[in-house]
Structure formats: structure tokens, C-alpha cells
Structure 1
Amino acid sequence: MKVSKMNPVSNYLVAALLLCGSAASVQGQEHFAHKQGLREIIKAQEELEHGHFRLALQTAAEYETAPGLSRWIINYPDKEKAALIRALSALRTDAPGADDSALALIRHTVHAPTRMRLSLALGHFYFRNERLAEAIPFFETADISNLSNEEIANLRFELAYAYFNSRNFEKAAPLFASIKEVSGRYYLAGNYYHGLLSYNNGNYDEALSSFRKVENDVQYRNIVPYYIAEIYYFKGDKATALQEAVRLIARPEKLYYDTELHLLAAQVHFEEQRYTEALPYFEHYYNNSEKIRKEELYEMGYSYYRTNEWRNAIEKFRPLSSQQDSLGQTAMYLLGDCYLKINDKKSARNAFGICSEMNFNHSQREAALLLYGKLSYDMGYYDIALNSLRTMVRDYPSSAYATEAKTLIGDLLLRSNSYADAFEELRNVTARDEAYRAAWQKITYGYAMQQMQLGNTAFSDSLLTLSLREPADRARAAAAHFWKGDIAYNAGRFGHAVENFSSYIKLAAGVESQVEKISTTATMANAYLNLGFASMETGDFAAARAAFARSRQGGRLTTAHSLTAVLREADAAFMQKNFREALPLYEQVIAANVTESDEARIRKAVILG
């Protein structure tokens, strides 16, 4: 069989037909794929809207990864819609990398509504996963124009909570306030946080209104009632605050803030000065708290102090010794007083010493300086006592304790015989109590004796006069009169000498031994002897004779002084021309064969003629 040659034109036509047939087939496939894709998009959209997020994620993903020609014939809007559904579903199911995928889509899309929806979804995603700081910028840029009221309320709450958690309370507050009346998912939580912020800002009426809406909710009933009780306290309604606190404490179901409720009840009783009632609540708080604030420890200690429970008060005040503030100073002052109440002077001294070193409360420092000085004095720390008392007088010259302090300073200076310094300390004191008078008498008397030894008899006499102006001690006053009499006699003022020796005799009667401890020379015998001499000089021979006679009673004179007294008694009788009584006295002196015997012989010869 002969093979014929093919016609080129025919071949072209066949090819064209084949090509046309092929094109028609492709158009049919594209139409079918597009319809199939739309169905997938619609399905995914419905699954998303009905909350079937995993199914929506799967459907959208299948659409985007369809096999064959559909991968390049999907139009761009449908493809972006599928990507949006997939991103939203991934965020709602917390799929790994969901936020990164959403962020990438936001960066690449030019479709503003897509960016807005993804921003809002990312905000919810970060909120739900407690990445609150990351949620804030997405919530802030979210478009709410197409959101329902409930969606807007949810958005505002979550943004407010994110602000709250970031401690940006100024931005959180108006958002919580805007949703507190909107019913919905966050109605109770919105009121709770609005109440908290209002409470912290001192808007107690606003806080109370919001707290009242949530106080019985299971989520808040163990927390909010405490805030309500506190709000009444801060509003000044202490009676209601206490009533609420006591009621809540008595509840079988204990509040989260049960310990703080006890403190609130204690605080109200404390401020109303019901210290006995306050203590059980304070004790519960103390025993159930991990950490006690210094103010609470002080109030507890003060309650013990006011109920005379000194040792319990000491236990609470003592830890406050390191506090360098007004509370610490007051605590140390009261601690010192508690130690005095149990007669622990050493510990009291230490407490007052700490108090005296702080300047927050001047009245307490003033008293502490005095008490620290007094206790140091009692315990033999004389230099420390002197320094503390001088500091008190210097820093508080108008103090009601100035007289007492200066008196103690005088006593301390006496111990070192610093009479001049002691005299200067006390001379200008105007408010003079018994202790001052005793110290002044000692100081001026001692200063007088010192000046007498130096030969300053005129100054010594004036000091003895000052000493007698405050005759607190009878024995010392007697000694002062003795030496004033001695000075007067030596100065030729015999009348003054008689007066002072006579005053000595009256004052020393019954306290001779005490007088002699002050001055061994100022004895009754010496006083009568000197009175006799002074009376002779004034011509009162009867008084002189009696004084000389009294000086010899009791045998207190030395032999020489005793014979002098006998001789002068005889002279007094002689001057009275009572020779009969004078003669045996002269003979007594003659018999002693002493220097005075020659004088006695002369007087005897005159008598016998």
C-alpha cells in the first residue's frame, strides 16, 4: 500500500481544534474551582462565626493549600479572606506561632479592615495569655466603629485591666468607670476594679457603690467586704466600720483579709481609747501576721501600757529602739517608764538615754534628758549625769524641770567640791522646791567653809546668810549659825555673835550628833563657851556665867578649854561681885596648876584683899 504524504494545513487545523478543545476544558475547570473555593471560604467563615475555631482554621488552611490549578487561580480578595480567617482562628485556638502569623499578615495587607480585625484579635490573644503589656498597643489602635456595645465593653475592660496591671492607673480608671454600668461578661469585674481604684484615690462613695454590687458574688465575697468596712472607717464612720468588722470576723467563712479585719477593729477601739477592748484584736493580728508594721507594734504596746501590763508593753516597745523617728522616740520614752514601773532602773536608764538622743519630740527629749541624768546619778555615773543635766538646762532654759535639773547639777558639783560652779548653777533659780532648798543650803554652806579657809570671811559670812534663807536641814542651819557667830565675834560684832550662838543652841538641841557630822567644831560645848565670851564682851555677865557653866556639862571640852570655862565663869561671877561663888572657881583653876592659874591667883588675892 502506498503511503500518502500528509497535508500541513490539515495538521494545523487539527491542532487548532485540539487547542480550542483544551481551552474550553480549562475554562470549565476554573469555573468549578472558583465555585468550590467560595464554598470553602463561606464554610470557614461560618465555622469562625459559630466559634468552631479549629474547624475554621482547618478549612481556611485547606483552601489556601488546594492542589492543582486552584492554587494559582484563587483571586486575591478570597485568598486574603482565607488568610484572615486562618489567622483569627489560630489566635483563638492559641496555635503555635499564631501571633507571629497575625503580625506578618498585618504588615503585608493593604486592607485596613483586615488590619483592624487582626489588631483587636491580637489584643485579645495577648490578654488571654496574660501578656498584658503586649496587648495594650493593639487595643489602643483597634477600631470600635463596627463593634457591638458588649464587644466595646469587653475591649475597654481588657485594656483597662492591662493598664491596671502595668500600674497605669490614670488610664485604667476612666475605662473601668465607662463600663461599670454595662451588663455583660465583665460587669462584676469592672465594678470590682473601679471600686479598687476609687478606694485608692480616696473616692470612697464611688468605691462603696461599686463594691456593694459585687460583695456577695462568690469571686469577691471573701475580699470586698473588708474594703467596705475600711471605707466606713476612712469616711469617719468608725461605729459602722467596727460593726462591720466584728460581724465579718464572726462569720463561719473567714475572709481573705480576716487578719486585717482584726486590726481594723483594734484600730477603732484604740482611737476611741478603749485599750482593753483593743488588745484581743491586736493580739490576734500580731499572732497571725508574718510582718508587723512599726505603727501597729507601737499601738499594741501603748494599749498594754495604758492597761498597766508593763512587761507586755516592754516586749512590744523594745523592738522600736532602732527607729529614728518620732514614733521611735515616744516608744523609748514609754519603754523607760515601763522599766521604772518594774524597778529595772538600768534598763530604764538605757531607754531614756536613747530617747534623749532624738530631736523629733522636744518635750519627750527634755524629760528624757532629766530622767537619764537622774538615773545616771543614782547609779554612780556622775560625769554622764552632769553632762545630761547640763544639756537639758542649756537646750531648755525655760523648762519646768530646770529647777530639778540645776539642783541635781549642784549636788553633783558638791561631790567634787566645785562649790563655786554649783553656786553659779543655782543662784538664779526662781522656782524653788524642797530639793532645791536642800541643795542650795548645802552648796552655800560648803562654799562658805571653803571661802573661810581662804580667809575671805566677809564673803563666807554672806554665803552663810544665803544658806540660812533656805533652812531645809536643821542641823546644817545650826552649823551655819555657829560659824556666823564665830565670824561675828572675831570681827568684834559681839551682839551678832550672841544672837548666832544662841540660835545654834536652839537649833542643835536634839540633833547634836548630826551637826557634828557636818562640822566637828560646831559642838554644843564650844557654842556655849563662845556664847560666854561674847556675852562677857557685851557686859551680860549673868548670861556669860550661865553659858560658861553649860559649856562644862557633859565633859565634851578638852581639859584646857574646860579650865578656861571655869576661869571665865569665875570672872563673870567676879564682875557681878559675887565673890563667894567666884572664889571656889578660882581655887579650882589654881589647883590645876596651869598657865591660867596665875590669873586665878591674882583674882583670888583681890577677893581676899
Structure 2
Amino acid sequence: MKKILLLLPLLGGIPAAHGQVIDRTTDVLMMANELTAIKSYVGVTSILSVRHIDKWVCPYFDEEAAYLNAIAQGALRSPEGETKLLDFIERYPHSAYRPYAQMRLGEWYFVQGNYRSAAYWFKQYDPFLLPDEMAQASDYYLSFSLMRDGREEQALGHFRPLIGTKTFGRDATFYSGYILSRLGRTDEAVALLDDVSHDGEYGAYACAYMASGLLAKGRYSEAMEKVRVGERQDIRDTEVRLSLLRSGGLAASALSQREVAISYLQDYMRLAPKAGRLEMITLGKELFDAGRYEESVESLAKASEERHPDFMGQLALYYEGLGQLALNHPMKAHIAFDRAAELDVYPRLTETARFNAALALYSNNPGKMNEGTDRLADYLVHYPQGEYAAQAVDHLKDAYLNDPDVDKALASIERITPLPAPLRRTLEKVRLRSANTQLDKGNTSSASRQYDNIIRNNADPASVAEAHLWKGEVAYREGRYGDAIASTQSYLKVRPQDTPVNPNAYYNLGYAYYNLSRWREAEESFREFLRVRPDATADEQTVIYSRLADIEVFGRNYSRALSLYDTAIQKGGNEADYAYFKRGMTYGYLKEYRTKADYLALLSSKYPSSKYVPEALYEQGRALSLLNDERSAQGVFQRVFEQYPNTDIAPKAGVQLALSYFNMQKLDEAARIYEMVARKYPKTDEAKAAMEDLKGISIELNRVDEYAALAREIGLGSAVSASEMDSLAYLAAEKIVGEGKASRSIEALDKYVAAHPDGVFVKKALYTKALVHYQNKAYREATLTLEQLLPDLVGDAELERDAYKVLTAAYVDWGRPDKAAELYLAQALKTKSLTDRSVFVSKAVDNALASSSEDFILSMADDIARDRISINEKVKSRVYGEALHILARSNRKQEALIYADRILMLGDHGQHARAGVVKALELYDRGQNTQARNAAQKVIDMGTTDTYWLARAFVLLADTYIKEGDKVSAKTYLEGVKSNYNNKTDGIINMINERLSKIQN
């Protein structure tokens, strides 16, 4: 019986508590609370998902928002409802809302029918933390969940305290009684269920349970009383009515109230989808006793369908057979007797049932071979000295001598051992046709042995000839076509002239030659068949003309084949649909694809039940594809794929359909169809082809992981190695990068790295990601990625070099020349090439100057001077020159002189002017005025593009003149430099002004 389920309103109905007043976000929470109170949960989720809310003023509001969102998702039965509630419970273990959330989660599982999980969550909190109404509802849900989860004793313990409550009292009373009834505690169950036996909602159910329990205890009068009370209720549940009818019928039968029992049980049978054996047997017994035999037989027949192996079942079947005999239904009687005999519980009853079953069958057509004679023969085998043996022999003899179906007669006789003497005389008369019977049954080896015996022993020429003919048939069926030809030709040779030729001889010869590809001999035999059998049936003519047409196709005489197929179609036999299909295919051999497509399109309407319809549609689609009519081809392939899924042609059609979508660049559709082919037909060659094509599409659509999952799902996981999947996934990501869309590129590369953290291409993927960031001027992201990647690139010189290149470029473009300088120096220290090292050092100097990293330059110059860094002379001269420049301007004269000497030891690469000026200054400081002037003049005469040091040379020249008192010459030089010098910040103008001031004073 269906258990009624009264659900209180779930996942809503209890408004959320309001928090303290907050800033402008308070409006959102207030509105969410109001929407929750009116159960507008879609509104709650919408308002709480608004992006422009900055943040909650305090964590409490975040907690309240999370709670409101969680219960709203749960109330909507959203897939996120469970996750939201679980997340809230985990995030806020000390929240005052936690018991509410746990109850909501229990309710969520309750509504889903997951009662075990529901019970678990209803147990996770103290119901006293909830309002009384919610606490009682919680206890009720817990009780109901335990009951539905099969923990009835626990459920009973929780239901009972609710019996006295206002809201759940009658529910708890009913379910407590129901559980007690199931536990066999009938008196306790009746005591509780009686209290709700007149309840408008539970009354009928309660009476049904009480009546069923009392009936099981044998308390039939009390059971009838409860049935009467239940009948007075408004019964809407069919299962409740069925239970009451069953209990009333069985109880009335036990109380010998026959008509009452019949009434109840017949009503029960009419309503019950499947009645029990006890009810049907009881009804049959009562009807039989009442003389209502047809109804009795009907009920007993239903009761015996399941063949329960006990005496009661055997007896029911036996009396059902007797009833059928009484009603003059011998065929139905034998079925009942057979079933009674099969149970074989009571031996004597079994023997009588066997004989009666055989006699009932034989009586339908006495004197002829039928199932009755087989049964009589079986009876003699099992009971050779049986009570009814003599009667069985008389019936069998009569049938064997009069029925023309001697094969059955011989088979029947051969089963009888020992064979009674009266039956032995009929044996030899039926052997020849018995062999044919064996052949018809497919027992070719048995038939062959009998044919050989006939050929060796039978003196009748016609029988010998027929034996040769049918030996040829046996050989044909076994695929021995050469032997079939030899035996059939023997038949034609030994056949008596006064005996008409059997047309099957030429029919068999034709097929034997046909299967050996001896086309002309096959054609001659088929045409001879038509000659000797002018009254051939439509089926035979259709088959012969189809074979003649096939032979012309094999000879590539397509026009003749079309004509013969047409003749076969006109004959209208069973194989006409084959001829029609092959005629359409022949148009294809002639490359008349439009005609082929149009012709095959009609096969399904002309022969709707033909097995060739799916293949014809498939070939129609192929023809349309060859005509480049892809849209029409798609429709045909789709029809085959969807309407004929269990045919061998369906996966082929699916592959063609997907291929057509692929050719139209509809990759999503192509992928969908390929996936369907692989899933529905995983063991086929088409599935392998689909997976191979899907591999390329997966790369195009960046769905390599989905492809791998599908391969595992259909059992091809071992065919796709981890390394191949790694490669495919990277190719998919790389393709998206090639499209030039930065955000999609980054997403694809991140997806690859996440899915294949140990993949071969992880380093390259990260490098490419950084490159994409760089190309899109996201310098910070590019540098972060490469800084993390570089330590892992040791050993991969090419990728390491490229990473350094992009990283330095990113720092330069980002305005961080100091970091660029460090990276260039790091590359210089790594490379083994003097040329590359010199270039890196030069670029390091450029970026160090750009960032005013003087200490960096001095440190690098010192390393070079100490031979820690080997570079070419030009770059070395430049580094020394920059170091000299820094030291000289910092008034570190002695250190500057050291670098001046180092520069002058090298060839002039543009730094000799600096060194010359520093050396001249040193002479001036020593008081060697003339030598200092000459040295300065030498620098000026030599010329240089270094304006600063050229200006220093002129200023030094002026100093030498000042020292000698030649202020005019000094002034001339100073004013000349000042008028042409543009840099106002490097100190030169200050030097000049200082000296001019002294001269004028």
C-alpha cells in the first residue's frame, strides 16, 4: 500500500531575523529579509548577487546575507542550494543562524527524497534552539526521514513524543501505528490506529492497516469489523481500497461467507494491478464451489501463472484443467494439465495430468499426427507399464498409419523405448521422408546418414534419386558447394525417366554455382529452373530474377542489370525490396547520383517494413554528398542515425552526418554527433573513426580534456596515452593563442597548466602566457610569471634565453631599467659566447645608466677589471669609461686615474678622450701646467662626441691660462664653451661661471 506523505511547507515560511541597522547596504538586507518572508526566493538570490554592493559594514551582515542566499537557493531547489547551505554551516560554525541552516539543509535533502542525509542533518542541532513550531517540524521531519530510511524503531521513538502535539499529533499517531503494524505489534498498532480510524485524512489508511494486521493474526471477525469501518470512509487512494477489499475477501472466506468473499475478491481483482496467488486461488475456490466454472477457471489460471512448486499450486492447475474440460476447452485443459505435471509434487497426480494433457491435445484431431501424439509417446517413455499405456498405444498406432507427416511419425516412434510390438511394423515405411524431416529441422548430419542408408539399401530407384537430391541440399546448407553440385548432378543422372524432375535441383545448382562465382553456369541453372517450373511462385521468380540481375552487376553489365531488377520488382515477391534497393545502387555504379538518391528515397514508402530501408537511406545520403548537397544529405543521415539506432548502418550514418557538419565548419555540431557515435557504438570501427576525427575538433575547440574523458568512458583510454593527451591539450591552447585574443589565450594556457601540472609543455605554456601578457602591455603579470618560471628553465637553453629576452624587455617597457640591467648581467654570466656576453654587458650598462645605478656600473667594472667577466675590448673600454665618468664626477680622482690607465691600454673605442682629460687633470693638480695644457689640447685636437669631457678639456685649458695670468685667453675659451653647451645640469656651466667670476674680479 502506498504510504501517504503529509509534508509541511518546506524551505520557507519562517522569515529571517533582522540585524542591526547598517549603512546603505541595510536596504539590501532588509529587502532580502522581506522577500524571504513572502517566499520570493528568486528575488532574494537576485538582490544578493548585485555586483555594485561594495561590502557589508560588519561580518554579521555578510553572515546574514550568506544565510539568506543559502536558504533561498535551497528553497528554489537549485543545484547550488545544497552547496550554499553546506558552505554557510562550515563558514559560520558559531552563527546563531547555524541551527536554522542545518534544518534547512535537512529539509533540502528531505524534499529531494534523500532521507538518510536529511536525518543526519536534522540530528546535527538542538531543536530547543529553534522556535517551538520549527522544533516540532524538525522532530517530525527527522521521524519521517528515519522511517523512510528503514530505521523504523528509531522513527517510532521520535514519533511518539509528537502524538500529543497540536500540529503533528494525528500524523505522529498514524505513523506510529503504521510502524507498529509493520513490526508485527498488532495490538499496540490497533490501539493507536483506532484513534484516527475516523479521521478524514488517515481513517481509511488506519483501517486498512488494522484489518491487514488482524487478518494475519487469524482474528477474522475483528478484521471484518475494521473493513466495514474503512469502507465508510472517503477512500481516494486505490491502494487503500485494495487493501480493505483483500482483507475483507480473505476474512469472509475464512468465515464461510462465500458470496461476501466473492464480492470483495472480485472487486479486488478488478482494481489490483497484480493480485496475489492466495487471493486468486481463494476466489477460484469460492467460485468453483458456487458452480461458476468459467469465472473459477479464470481466477485459478491467474493464480497458477507463477508455477509455485507446492501441492496447492499443482492442485489448482489440475482442477483448472478439469474445469476447462468441463467447459469443452481441451487446448486450455492440456495447458493446465501440463503445468500441473511440471510441478511434479504428487506423483500419481503428475502421471494422470500427463496422460490427460496428451489426450486433450490428441482429441482435437484424432487419427493425425499432432502434439497430442508426441505427448502420448512421451507418456509411454515415462510410464511403459502405466495405468493408461494400452490406451496410448492404440491412439498412436492409428495416428502413425494415417497421417502423411511421416517425419513426425518416425521421430515419435524413435523416442519410444522399448517400442511396443504393434508399433514396430510402421518403422520402415517412414524412413525416407523422415530424413527430409530432419533436414527441414536443420539436423543435416542425421539427414545425411539416413540418405546414405537409403542409397545403399533401398531398392526403389525414385527414393535413391531423391536421396541424392537431398544430399545435395545438405551439402549446400553446410557450404560445401562442390559436393552440392556433384550430388545434384547425380540426381539428374539416376532419376527414372517416368519421374518428373524436381525443379529444386536446378534451383540448388544455380545457387551453388552462384556462391562459387561461376556466373554463367549459375545463370543457365536459374533459367532452367524457370523453364521446368512455369508455375513458380512470385517469391521464387523474384528471387531468381534478382540473382540473374546480381550476376549482370558482377559482370558490370549495368543496363541489363537494371532491366532484370525491374522484372524482379514487378514479380512482387518477398525479395522485391532487395531488387528495388539493388536497382538504386546500380544507378550509383553508373555514377547517376541524382537518380540514385531520388530512387532510393522512395524505398521507405514503397516497402516501409523492409530491412533495407536504413541502408537505402544511408546510400541516398552518400549520393547527395557526392552531389555536394550537404544539407539534404544531413537530413537523410540524421534520419538513419535517429530512427534506426540498432542497425549496423546507424554508426556509419552518424559518422557521415558529423563529417558533413565538419565540412560546413559547424564544429560544435560535428563534435556532438561524433560523441554520440562513440558512446552508442563504442566497439565499432566507426567509433574509432569518430574518436580520431573528434581528436582534431577537440583541439580546434579546446576540449581536449573532454575528449580524454570520453575516451576513458568508452574504454579507449589505453589507446590515448598521457603524453598524447598532454600534447593535444597544449596544441589546443596554442591554437587559441594563435587567434590573438589575450583573455582567451591566458584562460586556455591556465587550463592546460591546471590539467597537466607535470606536462611536457608546462614551461612553454607559462612562457607563452608571459609573452601574451607582454604583448598586451601587462608588464607586471609578464614579469611575475617569468620570474617564477626562470628557475625551472635550467637545462633548456633556448627557452631560458627567450624567457630572459621577454623578461628584460618587459622591465624596460615597464620603466624598470634597473631590473633590466640586472637581468642582462645575469644573462652575460650564463652565456658561453664572448660576443653574446659583450652584448648583454653593453645592454646592462645602458639600463644601469637609464636608472642611475652607479654602484651597479662600478661593481661590474671591477668584476671586468678582475677578469671575472670576459668581454670584448670595445665593451670593456665602454664599461671602464662609464666607471671613470662616475668616479671623476664624484671627485674620486685616484680611482678614476686607474680606469683612465686601463682605458688607455686598450684601443680607442671612444673612451680615450675621457681618459686623456682625467690624466691632464692629474698633471694640472701636480702643478705641471704646460704638460696639462698640452694634454688637454691633445684631447681637443683629437675630437670626441662626448660633449661633457670635451667641455672639461676646454675648462682645463682655460685653467692653465688663468694660472699663467692670461685671463683673456681663458675667458675666450670659457665663453666659447658656454655659448655652445646646452646641458645646464651636469655641472659644466657652474664650472665656467665660477671661473668667469674670478677672472672678472
Give the TM-score taking structure 1 as reference length: 0.50
- Greater gyration radius: 1
